[in-house]
Structure formats: structure tokens, C-alpha cells
Amino acid sequence: MTLTLDLTSAQTRAALGAHMRTPEKPSLVGLTRDEMAEALAVAGIPERQRRMRVQQLWHWLYVRGVSDFSQMFNISKDLRAELDRHFTVARPEVVEEQISNDGTRKWLFRFPPRGAGRPVEVETVYIPEEGRGTLCISSQVGCTLTCSFCHTGTQKLVRNLTAEEILAQLLTARDRLGDFPDRDTPDGAIVPAEGRKVSNIVMMGMGEPLYNFEHVKKALLIASDGDGLSLSKRRITLSTSGVVPEIARTGDEIGVMLAISLHAVRDDLRDMLVPINKKYPLEALMDACRNYPGLSNARRITFEYVMLRDVNDSLDDAKELVRLLRGIPAKINLIPFNPWPGTNYQCSEWETIEKFADYINQAGYASPIRTPRGRDILAACGQLKSESERMRKSERLALEAMMIAGHGEA
Ligand code: SAH
Ligand code: SF4
């Protein structure tokens, strides 16, 4: 059974004690140390105090996870009031929280308008696994690219998310999971990072992260900073459809793990499935991967490969894949296609996926088949779409019928 909580009523919000942000004030979340110091200058904090205040604020925001200045006990009441006059540290509105029968959770967050724009809604998914938990974060609302098998690709780009909004997905998910154990320790002790519910993050939600490079970079550098959210860069994966010119910068400037949405091993087919291939074809993409900064057998690139029936799932494709990846420290992630209403694709037969995986394994590659998770709440890859283009009920029923009929079910 799927559990859906309606979090829109004022009562529910009050019960949750959520501090929702108001649109007028700028947020202190997502700023680099220098940017925060500049912001504090505007609020009249004397220069000699700024570095210390930045340190305190980072600690409260990212280690303790507070969302209200009043909880920052080592800052004087007057200063807290002054900060509150100028800034916010509040969370986005949690419009909806869905909990799948397999423990997967999906949230719909609403962010206030920027300038003359409208509020935007963003989906974030949490996938708990044995001994770890992965948060799938969005980088844009919609996507400018139009990969033909991806539901997000049918939605127009609404806008890039800011560093604040990218980080807010992580902070709010951890709130909802009770994953800020440091917030309430009586003696102020820091709880070791090992036991965290969100142990890994993947930039695999809505959008193409490398088309929003600066904001994604800022957010991930705070997520991995020892004084920020302290996630190891090895536990952060950025997935790209293949924006070749930004790949080297991703390694140099962000230093996180890279995943490539490959999906096809020949240019003619990849042009159709992942149209950015027309701009940056396979040869250029493979070169960029081969030269990815920090690449080694211990730090491999993950190649994502969606299994589409009779499209890219033959043994010849598997052979060509092995040939293409020669010399690149790689992992291959086979993803059973998740169907959505209106798509012409179907998921490969399970037997075909296994044969494909066997061939790749024999060639020496780890090639886990991604287990479909959270399908009952449409939390799977490629199904994220914001409220601005939410599925109509008839579409939902059609999808359920497809899944019951076993199409695309792995
Ligand atoms: N834009 C980035 C990251 C978001 S998509 C990218 O394309 O890499 C995250 C992953 O989900 C990608 O590998 C994407 O190809 C895959 N995906 C999209 N739609 C899917 C679907 N319907 N079924 C299975 N995987 C899908
Ligand atoms: Fe955009 Fe990635 Fe979907 Fe392609 S697969 S349309 S790049 S979100």
C-alpha cells in the first residue's frame, strides 16, 4: 500500500513545526563562505566578526540542520533578530510526501518565486538500501534536452535551480527522515557520519546538471565540505547525458563521481535516444571520459544503460559496449526501462537483460541491474515531473494498467 501525506494544510504544517521560508528575504543557504561574509556585511555585521559568524552559521545550517535563527543558541538574541530581519534559513514547503511499500520516499517541494517568476515544484526521491540510503536530487525544473525515453524530457525547462534550492532538497529530506541526529544531542556532541540515513547523493533527478554548472558546483562543494554536510565526494555521483565541454571541469572543480547516460553504442541510435549526441558524438564523449580527472580503478565512471526492447538490447550491442569502454575504468549500470503513458518504448525481456549482463560480466565489468524501486509512487528514474505538468488521473491509470500487464516490469 502507498502512503500519501497531504502536507498542505496549515494544521499539518504547524504540527510538523516546519519553518517555511517567505519569498521576500534572501536565504543564507547555499552561499560560499565569501558570499556569506559579504551578505553579513550588508546586514551591518562588523568585519572583524564576519569570519567567526560565517563559521557559526555554517555549523548551525549544515551540521545541526536548523531552519530558524532562534535555534542558534550561541548567537546573541539581538544578532539573531538582526539576521532574521535580513535573511531566511527556512525550508521549502513540503507539498507532498509519498512513502512506497518498499520504503522509497518521494517528496514534492515548492520553492517561492524568484523575481517575477512563479513558484516552482521539484521532486526528490530517497531510496533506502541495506546499510545505506541514496537521495536522488534534481538540478533543474524540467529539462532542455529531449531524450526520447525520458518523461522529464517531455517537459519544457522551467528554470535552473539555485544552489540554495539544490541543497534545500538534501536538508529537507534529512529533516523528514529524522536524519539530523546532531540537532538535539544534549551535550552538543556530533554524531559520527556513518549512521546517516542519507549516505549517498546522486544528481539524477530532473534536469541536466551540467547545464546548471555553477549552482550544482556550489551546492555539491557545500555538501562535501567537512564544515558543511561532510559527505565524501566518493558518495556523490553526478549524472550527465554527455555535456562534453563541462566534463573535465566537473572532475577538476567539483571532484565527484561521474555517471554517463550512455544508452546506445552507435551514433545513429544515440542521436535518436539522447539527442545531445548530435552535438557531442560518442568519440568526443569517450575521450572526455578517458581524461576524466582523478579517474582510476578505485574511482570508476558509471555508464548508465537503459534496456529498451529490440532497440539497444542485442548481444551485438553488448559486444560493442565492451569495445567502446576499453581502457576506461568503468562500471555499467543496466536500468530496466520505466514506462510512462504515451511512450512507444518497452522494457527489454528479463531474460534479454540477464544475457546482456552476463556478457558484460564475462568481459570483466561489474554490471548490476538496477532494481526498480518505488514504482508504486512513480519514484523511478525518468518518471520525475513537476507539478507544473503533473500526470492527469487518466494517465496514471494507464500507467498502472501497463505495470499490471507486466510491460516493462522487471
Ligand atoms: N539529465 C541527467 C540526469 C537525470 S536522468 C542524465 O540524463 O544523465 C537520470 C537517469 O535516468 C539517466 O541515466 C536517464 O537516462 C535515466 N532515465 C530517464 N528516463 C528513464 C526511464 N524512463 N527509464 C529508465 N531510466 C530512465
Ligand atoms: Fe534531460 Fe536526463 Fe531526461 Fe535526457 S535523460 S531528457 S538529459 S533529464
Q: Is the Cβ–Cβ distance between 336 and 307 less than 8 Å?
A: yes
pTM exceeding 0.85: yes
Ligand 1: residues within 6 Å at CB? 147, 149-151, 204, 207-208, 239-241, 261, 304, 306, 335, 337-338, 381-382
* pLDDT mean over 263-272: 98
Q: Is the Cβ–Cβ distance between 345 and 309 less than 8 Å?
A: yes
pLDDT at position 54, please?
97
Task: Tell me, in angstroms, the distance from the centre of ligand 2 to residue 90's CA.
Answer: 30
The CATH 1.10.150.530 portion of the chain extends over: 28-86
pLDDT band at 313 (very low <50, low <70, confident <90, very high): very high
Taking 70 as the threshold, does the pLDDT of residue 53 lie above it? Answer: yes
Cell numbers for 103 = 520504503
Interval 107-148: pLDDT, tens: 999 998 877 778 899 999 999 998 899 999 999 999 999 999
Least confident among 249-253, 335-339, 401-405: 401-405
Residues serving a catalytic function are 123, 381
* pLDDT mean over 217-242: 97
User: What is the C-alpha separation between 47 and 297, in angstroms, rounded?
Assistant: 47
pLDDT at position 368, please?
78
User: Does 143 contact ligand 2 (Cβ within 6 A)?
Assistant: yes
| CA of 341, nearest ligand number | 1
Q: Just give the CATH number of 100-405.
A: 3.20.20.70
Least confident among 10-19, 24-33, 176-185: 10-19
pLDDT at position 387, please?
45
Q: Is the Cβ–Cβ distance between 206 and 138 less than 8 Å?
A: yes
Q: By percentage, how much of the chain surpasses pLDDT 90?
A: 70
The residues with which 347 forms a beta bridge, in sequence order, are 308
* pLDDT mean over 258-286: 98
Q: Is 108 helix (H, G, I), strand (E, B) or coil?
A: strand
Q: Which residue has the higher pLDDT, 93 or 392?
A: 93
pLDDT band at 386 (very low <50, low <70, confident <90, very high): low
The residues with which 200 forms a beta bridge, in sequence order, are 134
Q: Taking the CB of residue 271, how many other CB atoms lie within 10 A of it?
A: 16
Interval 153-210: pLDDT, tens: 888 888 999 999 999 999 999 999 999 877 766 566 666 666 789 999 999 999 999 9
The CATH 3.20.20.70 portion of the chain extends over: 100-405
Task: Tell me, in angstroms, the distance from the centre of ligand 2 to residue 149's CA.
Answer: 9
Q: Tell me the average pLDDT of the chain.
A: 87
**Range 28-86 has CATH code 1.10.150.530:** yes
